[in-house]
Structure 1
Amino acid sequence: MTHIPPSVDVLIIGSGNAGLCAAISAAESNATLSILVIDACPESWAGGNTYFTAGAFRTAHAGLPGILPLVNNVSSDSGSATASRIDIPPYTSSDFAADLERICGGRSDADLSRVLVEESNDAVKWLARHGVRFQLAFNRQAYEIGGRFRFWGGMALKTQGGGEGLVGDERAAAERLGVKFSFGTAAKRLVSDPVSGGVTSVVVVAAGAGGGEREIRTGAVVLAAGGFEANPRMRAQFLGPGWDFAKVRGTPYNTGSCLEMAIRDVAAKQAGNWSGCHSVAWDANAPSNSGDREISNEFTKSGYPLGLMLNLGGERFVDEGVDMRNYTYAIFGRAILAQPGHAAFQVWDATMTPWLRSEEYRDEIVERITAATLEELAEQCVKRGLRNPGKFLATIREYNDAVAAFQQENPGHKWDPAVKDGLSTQSTRKQLALAKSNWATPLAKGPFVAVKVTCGVTFTFGGLAVDHQTAGVISSATNSPVPGLYCAGEMLGGLFYDNYPGGSGLTSGAVFGRRAGRAAAQAAAQASKQSFGARL
C-alpha cells in the first residue's frame, strides 16, 4: 500500500493531464510546498482518460514557423526538405474562438472560452519547457497530396507516444519538482471549516489490506478526477435512455464520484451540458466497460468522411461529409447509439481504403469485412448483424446515382480530403434526402470493405462551475469560490455543449490545470502562514 501522509500542502485528486498540469504548476509556483497526487485507480491504470487519447492539442498559432520550434519530428529549420513540403495555415485566436462558438452552438461560457483560447499557445509552450515532447500530427491531421503535406481542421500538434507519452512526460516533470503520488487512494469526503467554509481536509479510502479511511489535512485541493462516463447509471440518468449501452473508451475509474462528492459536501455549483458528452465511432468488438491500454485510441474509427455509414437497417443516418472530421467525430457516437442495435457499418470502396489511417483500420486492430462485390459485402455484413441487406444495397446504389449526377453536372469538381471540397450528392437532377455534403465519391470499385462500429463514450460535458481566473470551485450557496478548492479537466463544466473542437479537451486540462495549481499553491502558502501564526 502506498504511504498516505497525514497532511500535505496541496492535494490533487486525479492523475490525468489536468491533475498533472496542476501538480507541475503548484510545484513550480512554490518549491517549499508538499504536493500529493492521489488516484482511486491502481498505478497500472495511472493517467486517467488522458492515457487513451491520441495526445492532440488544439492551439492558436501563427502557422508553420511558430510550430516548428516545438516539435521533434521535423527540423526547426523552415528550409529543411520536409518543412518545405508542409502547408500549415495560421490558426488565430479568432479562428479558435469562432470554432468553439460554432461547434458548441454559442453556449460556451464566455470567460472560460476566452481563457482557453488566449492561453492555448502559451500552455503548450509551457508543457514543452517541462519536457513534454510534441510532434506534427502527420498521421492524424495531414494528407499528402501532390507531394505536399497539407494540414487541415485547425490542428497540427500531438504528443510523442500519444496519451501514454503525454502522461509519462508530465509525471516525470512533476516528480522532478518533488511531487508525490499515491494510487489506490480514493477521495471519499471533503471536510470544510464550519466558519470559513474552506476545505481543510479530505477523507480518503486506501485500497488493499490495512487500508480503510484516512484523513489528509491540506491547505488546498484540486479536483481533476474526470467525469461520469464510466458510470452506466449516471450516463442513463443524465445523458438519457440507452446510454448505458455505450462502450467506455477510456478508464473505468471515471465514475463521477468526485463530482457527487463536491456537490454533496461543499454545495459545489453545477454547470455545463449534463446531457452532453464526447462520443465517437468505436470498434464494435472493443471491450464494453473500459478501454484497452495496449490498443488504446486505435479502437476509434474516424474514416467515415471517406465513405458511408449505414445502420443495421441498411440506411444512412448522418451526413458523413457535413464538416471536417475534427468537428464531427465527437458527436457521431451519439448518432450511432441511437440506431437499431446501437451499431452501424462504415463502408468504402478500393479507391478510398488506401486513405484510411492504418492505426485505426489495419487488420491487427479491426475486423475488416472484405468482399469483391457490394452484394457479397451485404451478405458478409448480415453475418455481423445487418438486418436488411436489400435496403443496404439500395441505399448505396441511390447514393452512387446521386454522386454520378453531381459529377456530370460539375465535371471540373475535384476531390480534396484536406478541405471541404463541395463534392456532393446534391445536384439539380438528383438530391438525396440526407446529403453527403463533401467528399462524395462513388462506392463502385472492389474490393469493398466494411467495419462494424458502435458508440464509444469518451468524456462527459457536465461539471462544476469555476472562477475563470483561478479555477476555484463556485459554491451554489454563496455563488462565490469555496476557499481552497479548485477544479480542472473533465470536471470543469461550462466549456463544451453538444460537441467540441477536436483537441481542445487536453488544451483545457492544461490551461485550467495550470491556473488551478498556481492558485492552490498560493492558497496553501497562505494557509500555512496562518497556521504558523496561530501556533505562535
Structure 2
Amino acid sequence: MATSLAEDWDIIIIGTGAAALSTALSAATSSTPSPRILLIDKAPSTWAGGNGYFTAAAYRTAHNGLSDLLPLVSNVPEDLKGKIDLDPYTEADFLGDLERVTGGRSDKTLGGYLVRESLETVKWLKEIGGVEWWLSFRRQAYEVDGRWRFWGGLCLTVEEGGKGLIKALLKAVEKVGCSIVYETEARRVVLDGEGKVEGLVVQQGGSERSLRCKAVVMCAGGFEANSKLRGEWMGKGWELAHTRGTPYNTGDMLLEAIRLGAERVGDFSPTGCHSVAWDADSPADGGDREKTNEFTKSGYPLGLMLNSEGRRFADEGVDLRNYTYAKFGRAILEQPDGVAWQVWDREGQEWLRKEEYRDEIVRKTWAGSLEELAGKLEGDGLRDKKEFVRTIGEYNEAVRAFGEERPDVKLNPAIRDGLSTQSSSKKLELAKSNWAIPITQPPFLAVKVTSGITFTFGGLKINPENAAVVREDGSEIEGLYCAGEMVGGLFWGNYPGGSGLTAGGVFGRRAGQAAVERVRRG
C-alpha cells in the first residue's frame, strides 16, 4: 500500500521483487507485535515486482514425488492424478544438478541451505504468502501415450506466472501491515561509529531524506540493466544484450555495499549471468509488462540454432532445457551480430509452446524449402545462405545415418532420449546429443533470436545462516542483510532452472528473521 515517508522504521527493505516481498513477510510474521517495516523501490508502482514479475514463476524444490506436491497444488483434478509421472527429486538430485551445471563452482554452503530449505519454503509461501501453486503442465511436462511426464526436476509454478506470483505476495505483504513507497531511490546506508546500520539515505522527488532504522535488507537485484557495468564487470559485448526484465536493476546497491567494505564474490566473468534465447524484435532496454516471459524462445531442443554465417554453434540437445536455457543466451551473443535463427520443420513445430511462439508474439519466417527459407533470411541478416542449407543438409544426413544404425531409439522429449547425430558411419563435428529429429518436412519455420539477460551471478558475500552481508575482512556489517539476485557465489556460468526464485525465498526468509532479531537487540 502507498504510504507517506516517515523518518523512523525498524526494518527497511530495498526492492519489491519476490525476494524482497518474501523478506517482508518473514519479518512481519516472525515477531508479535510486528516491527515497523518499509519497502522502498526506485521504480514507479506500475513497475512493482522487480524481475520476479517477468518470470514464469517456477520454483525448484526437493521433494519425494506427488505425495509431497499434491497437497500444495490446486490444478490437479482427481481424474488426472493417476495419469501423472513425476519422479521424486531428492536433495541429492538437487545438489547434484547445482554442482553439475555450475561446473562444481557453486558455494556448497549456500547450496546446502538452498536445497535443504526449498520444500519448506514453498510450503511457507503457500501458507503465509498466499501463493497458489500449480503443477507446470504447460512448461515442464509432455503428454506421451496419454500420460503427463514431468522432466528436468522442475514442476511448481503459479497461474499467470510472475504476474500472479507478485500479485499474491504484494497482497500478503499489505495484509500483514508492511508499508511500500515507490519512486524512492536508496542512496547510502548510514553506519554508526561502531560500523552498525543506523539508517538509510533515500532520494525522493529530487531531494534526499535520511531515514532511521535498525536493519536494512538489500533485495535490489543485480546489475543486468546497467550496460556500462555489464561491460566493465563481464566484458566487451555484454553491452548489446537485451534486458529481459525490469530496467531498474542497475547495480546501485552493489556499488554501495562495496563502498562499505562488503566482499564481492561469484561469477563476474563473461559467463556470469542468466541469459536466454530471446526474441530479436523485443525491446532492448527493458521487458514488456504485458508479454513478460513470452519473449523467451526455448523451443530449440527439437530444432536447430544457426548463426548469421549459416552455422550451428551449440549442441541444442546436450541436456534438458532446464539446464541449458540460462547459458544459451550467452552463446547467441557470442555469434556474429549477436543473433541466430531457430529452425524447425513440421514435426518440430508441433512441440513449440504457444505462449512463446504464437503468431501474436513472434515474427515468423515460413518457406516451402530450405533454399527458399535461406533466401528469405538473407534479407533479415543471414550472410551465407548456401552454408545455411549445407549445414541443415549435413545434419539431416547424420540423423538419417543414426536412425539406420539405431532404429530402436525413439523421440521422447521428456527424457534425454539419446536420439543423436553421432553414429559409426557419420558424426558431426558439433553433435546434437538428444532429440535429433530430421528437418525435412515442409513448411519450414525460422525465428530470429538474440540474447536476453535475466540476472547477474556475481554479487555480495553473505553469511547463509542469517543473510548478513560480509566484509572483505570476514566480519559482518551488523544490521545489513541481502537476499535475491544480489547474493553472489551460488550460480556460476549456468544454473538449474527455477532455483533463483527459490533462493530468493530461502534467504529472504532468513534475512527477515535476522532483521527482526537485530531490532529486538536494540
Correspondent of 2:513 among 513, 518, 523: 518
Identify the match of residue 62 of structure 1 among 61, 64, 77: 64
Give the superposition deviation at 1:2.
5.3
Residues 18, 513 of structure 1: 8 Å contact kept: yes
Q: Distance in 1 between matches of 2:385 and 2:85?
A: 43
Aligned mates of 2:108, 2:329 — CA distance in 1: 27
Partner of 1:221: 216
Task: Encode CA deviations 1:175-199: one digit per residue, 9 max, x unaligned.
Answer: 11110000001000011012x2111
Aligned partner of residue 12 in structure 1, secondary structure: strand
Matched residue type, 1:37: L
Q: Is the 8 A contact 1:464 1:491 kept in 2?
A: yes
Deviation at 1:382, TM superposition (A): 1.1
Equivalent residue for 1:197?
195
Q: Distance in 2 between matches of 1:299 and 1:340?
A: 21
Please name the residue that 1:26 is paired with: 27
SS at match of 1:7: coil
Alpha-carbon distance, 1:108 to partner: 1.1
Q: Which amino acid aligns with 2:230?
A: R
- Tell me the equivalent position of 1:107: 105
How far, CA to CA, are the matches of 2:200 and 2:281 in structure 1? Answer: 40
Q: Which residue of 2 is the match for residue 534 of structure 1?
A: none
Query: Which moved further from structure 2: 268-277 or 95-104?
Result: 268-277
Q: Is the 8 A contact 1:9 1:525 kept in 2?
A: no
- Equivalent residue number for residue 365 of structure 1: 361
SS in 2 for 1:351: helix
- Alignment counterpart, residue 262 of structure 2, candidates 232, 246, 268: 268
What is the CA–CA distance in structure 2 between the aligned matches of 1:304 and 1:32, rounded to whole Å?
48
Q: Is the 8 A contact 1:2 1:183 kept in 2?
A: no
Q: What per-residue deviation string (whole Å, max 9, x for no partner) do you get for residues 331-363 of structure 1?
A: 000000000010000000001101100000000
**Tell me, what secondary structure is at the counterpart of 2:34?**
coil
Tell me by how many angstroms 1:33 deviates. Answer: 0.8
Residues in 2 aligned to 1:103 and 1:42: alpha-carbon distance in whole angstroms? 36
* In 2, Cα distance between equivalents of 1:117 and 1:492: 16
Q: Partners in 1 of 2:8 and 2:265 — Cα distance?
A: 31
**Quick one: which amino acid aligns to residue 126 of structure 1?**
W
Residue 174 (structure 2) pairs with residue 181 (structure 1): no
TM-score, normalized by length of structure 2? 0.98
Return the letter of the residue paired with 2:43: C
CA distance in 1 between counterparts of 2:200 and 2:69 reads 41
Distance in 1 between residues matched to 2:439 and 2:324, nearest whole Å: 22
- The amino acid of 1:125's aligned partner reads K
Give me the whole-angstrom Cα distance separating, in 2, the residues matched to 1:83 and 1:65.
11
Q: How many residues are aligned here?
A: 517
Matches for 1:388-467 after TM superposition, within 5 Å: 388-467=384-463
Q: Distance in 1 between matches of 2:212 and 2:353?
A: 49
1:223-372 pair list within 5 angstroms: 223-264=218-259, 266-275=260-269, 276-372=272-368
CA distance in 2, matches of 1:498, 1:302: 18
Alpha-carbon distance in structure 2 between the residues aligned to 1:337 and 1:352: 24
Distance in 1 of aligned mates of 2:34 and 2:456: 36
Q: CA contact under 8 A between 2:27 and 2:34: conserved in structure 1?
A: no
**1:134 corresponds to which letter in structure 2?**
W
After superposition, the C-alpha distances for 1:158-191 in whole angstroms (9 at most, x for unaligned) are: 0121111111111111111110000001000011
Q: 1:41 deviation in Å? A: 0.4
Equivalent residue of 2:210, what SS? strand
Q: 2:42: which partner in 1?
A: 40
What SS class does the counterpart of residue 484 from structure 1 fall into?
strand
- Alignment-mate amino acid for residue 55 of structure 2: T
Match of residue 530 from structure 1: none
CA contact (8 A) 2:3 2:179 kept: no
The alignment-based identity, stated in percent, is: 56
Give the aligned residue type for 2:437: T
Q: Cα offset for 1:524?
A: 1.4
Distance between the aligned counterparts of 1:197 and 1:175, measured in 2?
A: 32
How far apart, CA to CA, are the structure 2 residues paired with 1:411 and 1:216? 70
The TM-score with structure 1 as length reference comes to 0.96
Distance in 1 (CA, whole Å) between partners of 2:82 and 2:459 is 44
Distance, in Å, in 2 between the alignment partners of 1:112 and 1:394 is: 47
Structural mapping, 1:456-495, within 5 Å:
456-476=452-472, 478-495=473-490
Counterparts of 1:96-175 in structure 2, within 5 Å, are: 96-130=94-128, 131-175=130-174
User: How far did 1:65 drift?
Assistant: 1.6
**Cα deviations by residue, 1:135-176 (Å, 9 ceiling, x for unpaired):** 000110000010001000001000121111111111111111
- Paired AA for residue 269 in structure 1: E
- C-alpha distance in structure 1 between counterparts of 2:290 and 2:8, whole Å: 36
Mapped to 1, the partners of 2:293 and 2:519 lie a distance apart of: 37
* 8 Å Cα contact 1:281-1:302 kept in structure 2: yes
Q: Which shows bigger deviation, 158-167 or 248-257?
A: 158-167
The CA distance in 2 between the partners of 1:37 and 1:522, in whole Å, is: 18
Do the aligned residues in 1 keep the contact of 2:345 with 2:443 (CA within 8 Å)?
A: yes
Structure 2 portions without partners, runs of 5+: none
Q: Is the 8 A contact 2:326 2:495 kept in 1?
A: yes
Letter in 1 for 2:160: G
Please tell me the residue identity of whatever aligns with 2:498. Answer: G
Offset from partner CA, 1:432-462 (integer Å, 9 cap, x none): 0000000001000000100000000000000
8 Å contact 2:294–2:356 — kept in the other structure? yes
Secondary structure of 2:511's match? Answer: helix
Contact 1:113 1:495 (C-alpha < 8 Å) held by counterparts:
yes
- Structure 1 residue 375: Cα displacement: 1.1
Q: For 1:413 and 1:496, locate their aligned partners in 2 and report how far apart those are by CA, in whole Å.
A: 34
SS in 2 for 1:347: strand
**Which residue identity lines up with residue 190 of structure 1 in the other structure?**
V
Query: Aligned-pair distance for 1:32?
Result: 3.2
1:338 alignment partner AA = E
Q: SS of the residue aligned with 2:213?
A: strand
Shift of 1:416: 0.5
Matched residues in 2 for 1:297 and 1:201: separation?
36
Supply the AA of the counterpart residue of 1:40: K
